[in-house]
Amino acid sequence: MSELIITKPDDMHLHLREGAMLKYACKDTEKQFARAIVMPNLKVPITSVNQAENYYQDIKKINRDSNFEPLMTLFFTNALDRDEIRKVSDSSVVHGIKLYPSGVTTNSDNGINTIENCFNIFELMQECEVPLLIHGESNDKSVDIFDREKVFIDRHLSGIHSKFPELRIVFEHISTKEAVDFVIGTNNKVNATITPQHMLLDRNDLLSDGIKPHHYCLPILKRSEDRLAIIKAAVSGSKNFFLGTDSAPHLRHQKESSCGCAGIYSAVCAMELYASIFEAENALDKLENFSSKFGADFYKLPYNKLKIKLIKQEYQVPRKINIGTEEIIPLFAGETLSWQLSEI
């Protein structure tokens, strides 16, 4: 196949940031995606529908000339109350609530320490059908970083799902075979997003032959067996797995540092990467559902009317993206990919 035309995809897990970075992240994303679930972990987290509406307007102003639609989320803090859940339920702008165990990743210090304290909110979310988006890693610092996702499933996620079986959950950016198996073993209410990096890279790509700060993200890259299980899930045709890049820009100097930030910027080449993965698995016919339909189904959104075209042509990923005097280094910077997004 040398050309592929599909419904314009949705990125169901994206960091657009704020300030100077917002413009660049928006511009790269709108070419690839019609809509995106926008993460709320700004320096001051988005904790109310009111704040989410203002952030929505900031994004819309940047994307004034396009039809890009940001799908906003709230950050789950201890202060989240039942009134706010009802506002989310009535809102056409906010599509879910993101729970970060406190301190588990970038800008997550205001997250949750005792998940049981959230149960009365989960109950109302279940009743109002408000999706719960979870960064599924334990924040127990005594747990090995490579085991934190599995431990989160065992200590928390399986319990949440058993207690609230109708609660619509997105297990974000899954990184292990255990996470794949957990989702498959549930009742369709637990879905998962899959990033390009967790299908293309393993921990050797991060740590062997020199440390690669631009491959550092959370959940951290795991073993090759995990990577293969995630690819299998993505191309399986199961509605429970859909696209979410977790594209998360950080300035170059913040990543190339003695204490580098977690986050991989893939918004410049996301669909090119997903197309290469699906092609290698002989599953290009499954790409459209994974990228443009299953996520929309989960969030109860109509399919996009716009289309994108991907052509089998070499594409060199930019070496860097200049932001004033600063830079962002994208995933696979300077490397040549075999697919290219093209005008339709």
Q: Where on the chain is the footprint of ligand DOR (CB under 6 A)? A: 15, 41, 105-106, 135, 217-218, 246, 248, 262-263
Exposed/middle/buried for residue 225 (C-beta within 10 Å: 0-12, 13-18, 19+): exposed
State both tokens at 51.
């704040």
Among Zn ion, ligand DOR, none, residue 263 binds (CB under 5-8 Å by kind): ligand DOR
Exposed/middle/buried for residue 344 (C-beta within 10 Å: 0-12, 13-18, 19+): exposed
Question: Which of residues 48 and 73 has its CB atom nearest to Zn ion in the complex?
Answer: 73
If we measure between CA atoms, which residue out of 174, 171, 170 comes closest to residue 197?
174
In whole angstroms, the minimum distance from the beta carbon of 45 to Zn ion comes to: 13
User: Locate tokens 């990923």: which residue?
Assistant: 317
Question: Which of residues 30 and 246 has its CB atom nearest to ligand DOR in the complex?
Answer: 246
Strand 10-14 and strand 326-328: the pairing is unpaired
Question: Which of residues 135 and 177 has its CB atom nearest to ligand DOR in the complex?
Answer: 135
Among ligand DOR, Zn ion, none, residue 262 binds (CB under 5-8 Å by kind): ligand DOR
DSSP letters of 119-149? HHHHHHHHHHT--EEE------TTS-GGGHH
Residue in the shown chain whose Cβ atom is closest to ligand DOR: 263
In whole angstroms, the minimum distance from the beta carbon of 250 to ligand DOR comes to: 6
In whole angstroms, the minimum distance from the beta carbon of 97 to ligand DOR comes to: 15
Among ligand DOR, Zn ion, none, residue 240 binds (CB under 5-8 Å by kind): none
Question: Which of residues 111 and 131 has its CB atom nearest to ligand DOR in the complex?
Answer: 111
DSSP letters of 173-206? S--SHHHHHHHHTS-SSEEEEE-SHHHH--HHHH
Question: Which of residues 217 and 234 has its CB atom nearest to ligand DOR in the complex?
Answer: 217
Catalytic residue list contains 246: yes
User: How far apart are alpha carbons 71 and 92 in whole angstroms?
Assistant: 9
Question: Which of residues 8 and 255 has its CB atom nearest to ligand DOR in the complex?
Answer: 255
Q: Which residues contact 159 (CB under 8 A, 6 or more apart)?
A: none
Catalytic residue among 10, 11, 226, 246: 246
CA dihedral 248, 304, 227, 131 (to 10 degrees): 70
Peptide bond into 302 cis (omega under 30): no
In whole angstroms, the minimum distance from the beta carbon of 334 to Zn ion comes to: 24
Measure the N-to-C terminal CA separation of the chain; round to a whole number of Å: 17
In whole angstroms, the minimum distance from the beta carbon of 55 to ligand DOR comes to: 15
User: How far apart are alpha carbons 205 and 187 in whole angstroms?
Assistant: 34
- Asked if 72 contacts 38 with a C-beta cutoff of 8 angstroms, the reply is yes
Positions in the binding site for Zn ion (CB under 5 A) = 246
Residue type, 306: L
SS3 26: helix
Question: Which of residues 234 and 284 has its CB atom nearest to Zn ion in the complex?
Answer: 234
Name the residues annotated as catalytic: 246
